[in-house]
Amino acid sequence: MNSNISPPLAAGDARSVAPGWLRIALANLRHRPWRLLNPLAYPLYRWYEHYLDAQVATDPVPAHIGLILDGNRRFARDIGLTAMRGHQYGVNKLREVLEWCLDLDVGHVTLYVFSTENFNRSQDEVDSLLDLFVRESARLLEEPRMKNGRVRVKIIGQRERLPERVVAASEALELSTAGHDGMLLTIALAYSGREEITDAVKGLLNAAAAEGSTLAALSAGLKAEDIQRYLYTEGTPDPDFIIRTSGEQRLSGFLLWQAAYSEFYFCDVLWPAFRRIDFLRAVRTYQRRKRRYGR
Sequential DSSP letters for 120-156 = GS-HHHHHHHHHHHHHHHHHHTT-HHHHHTT-EEEEE
pLDDT above 90 (res 133):
yes
Residue 199 exposed, middle or buried by CB count within 10 Å (0-12, 13-18, 19+): middle
pLDDT band at 183 (very low <50, low <70, confident <90, very high): very high
pLDDT at position 17: 45
Nearest to 155 by CA among 196, 198, 205, 111: 111
**Where is pLDDT greater, at 33 or 11?**
33
pLDDT above 80 (res 170):
yes
The CATH T-level fold of domain 14-288 is: Undecaprenyl pyrophosphate synthetase (3.40.1180)
pLDDT band at 141 (very low <50, low <70, confident <90, very high): confident
Q: How far is residue 195's CA from residue 190's CA, in Å, rounded to a whole number?
A: 10
pLDDT in tens, 13-32: 444 445 555 555 555 555 45
Q: Quick one: average pLDDT of 79-96?
A: 93
Q: Hey, which residues does 152 pair with through a beta bridge?
A: 184
pLDDT at position 43: 81
pLDDT at position 21: 55
Q: How far is CA 273 from CA 25, 119, 142, in A?
A: 10, 25, 24
Q: Quick one: average pLDDT of 215-221?
A: 93
pLDDT band at 79 (very low <50, low <70, confident <90, very high): confident
The percent of residues above 90 in pLDDT, for the chain, comes to: 78
Active-site hit among 70, 78, 238, 240: 70
pLDDT at position 13: 40
**Where is pLDDT greater, at 141 or 202?**
202
Q: Where are the domains of the chain?
A: 14-288
pLDDT above 80 (res 40):
no
pLDDT in tens, 57-67: 999 999 999 99
pLDDT at position 5: 34
**Where is pLDDT greater, at 6 or 183?**
183
pLDDT at position 209: 94
**Where is pLDDT greater, at 11 or 267?**
267
pLDDT at position 27: 58
pLDDT in tens, 239-259: 999 999 999 999 999 999 999
pLDDT at position 94: 96
pLDDT at position 7: 35
pLDDT above 80 (res 178):
yes
Active-site hit among 53, 103, 118, 199: 118
Q: Please give the helix or strand (H or E) that residue 109 lies within, else none.
A: strand 108-115
> Active-site residue 72, yes or no?
no
pTM of the complete model: 0.86
> Active-site residue 278, yes or no?
no
Sheet holding 152-156, edge to edge: 152-156, 184-191, 108-115, 64-68, 241-244, 263-266
The mean of the pLDDT values for the chain is 89
